[in-house]
Amino acid sequence: MSRLLLLFDIDGTLLRGASDAHAAAVHEAIRAVWDLPDPRAARVEAAGRTDPEIVRAILLNLGVDAARIDAGMTDFRVAAGEAYGRLVPDDLSGRVVPGMEAVLDELAGREDVVLSLVTGNLEVIARLKLRAAGIGRRFASGQGGFGSDDEDRSVLPGVARARAGDDGRAFARERTVVIGDTPRDIACARADGVRCVAVTTGPYGATELADADAVVASAGELLWAVERLVG
């Protein structure tokens, strides 16, 4: 049986409106690590970026030099994870995109599908967020690609394929699909040579996501779109 690897983004794809505590944790960690009073003063577009990339953009905007940013990144990852562990809401189930839980349940019941993640979230934040949303059990530990793996999102599908592979061989590109809601999700799929289904459940519309292999408006359309791409 030829399995299919589905790499889901989180914010805007699996969940909507679940980023407040995440943003607060990132800002708290920036203040702690780089001793900056108010990182919120730097306005940075976050959609589709990794947490470390967002942090770098904030810090550069505030005049912190690259060497100092690099020196603090490991401490940032630890501090942000600890902060989110304190700030994450007990229940984010109301933030799951409508219809998505049913789609995940159906996919999880198929022997030919591997559910995984490609997200800019640090892994500890991603896992806590999905657990609070009640869908974390669908995504196995030891799998996926996260902002804690690399600042460059284009690297993450390859990381996830390596983790999902067997006998030291990465999962096949032709059987891998990235599912996301931003042009950066599409770009990371293209960088790794895999296909992408874009959903308009995030901040971007169908026109802005037209470079994907398929664009759908709801979770319920995902199964059809994936089947059409890979047969």
Q: What is the DSSP string of 9-33?
A: --BTTTBSS--HHHHHHHHHHHHHH
Of 29, 61, 87, which residue sits at a domain end?
Answer: 87
Q: Are residues 10 and 24 in the same domain?
A: no
Give the other-Cβ count within 10 Å of 147's Cβ: 25
Residues 64 and 142 in one domain: no
CB 26 within 8 A of CB 51: yes
Residues 107, 207 within the same domain: yes
| Judgement on whether residues 58 and 151 belong to the same structural domain of the protein | no
- The contacts found for 220-224 with CB under 8 angstroms, 24 or more apart, are 220/99, 220/102, 220/103, 222/103, 222/179, 222/197, 223/103, 223/106, 223/107
Note whether 136 and 76 are same-domain residues: no
Q: Among 49, 72, 87, give the residue marking a domain's end.
A: 87
Sheet holding 113-117, edge to edge: 113-117, 4-8, 176-180, 195-199, 214-216
Whether residue 74 is found in the same domain as residue 112: no
Segments in the chain below pLDDT 50: none
Residue 141 and residue 126 share a domain? yes
Same domain, 161 and 114: yes
Q: What is the pLDDT of residue 1?
A: 53
Question: Based on the domain organization, do 64 and 151 belong to the same domain?
Answer: no
Residue at which a domain ends, from 87, 103, 136: 87
Q: Is the pTM of this model over 0.85?
A: yes
Backbone angles phi, psi at 96, to 5 degrees: -65, 135
| Residues paired with 199 in a beta bridge | 216
List the one residue out of 229, 179, 159 whose CA is nearest residue 48. 179
φ/ψ (deg, to 5) at 208: -75, -15
* pLDDT score at 36: 86
Q: What is the pLDDT of residue 9?
A: 97
Residues 96 and 178 in one domain: yes
38 shares its domain with 120: no
Residues 43 and 157 placed together within one structural domain of the fold: no
Which pLDDT tens digit goes with each residue over 68-98?
999 999 999 999 999 999 999 999 999 999 9
Q: Could you give the number of structural domains in the chain?
A: 2
Taking only the tens place, the pLDDT of each residue in 25-37 is: 999 999 999 998 7
The candidate with the shortest Cα–Cα distance to 155, out of 7, 16, 34, 11, is 7
- Tell me the residue range of the domain where 177 lies: 4-18+91-230
Structure tokens at 191: 């960088």
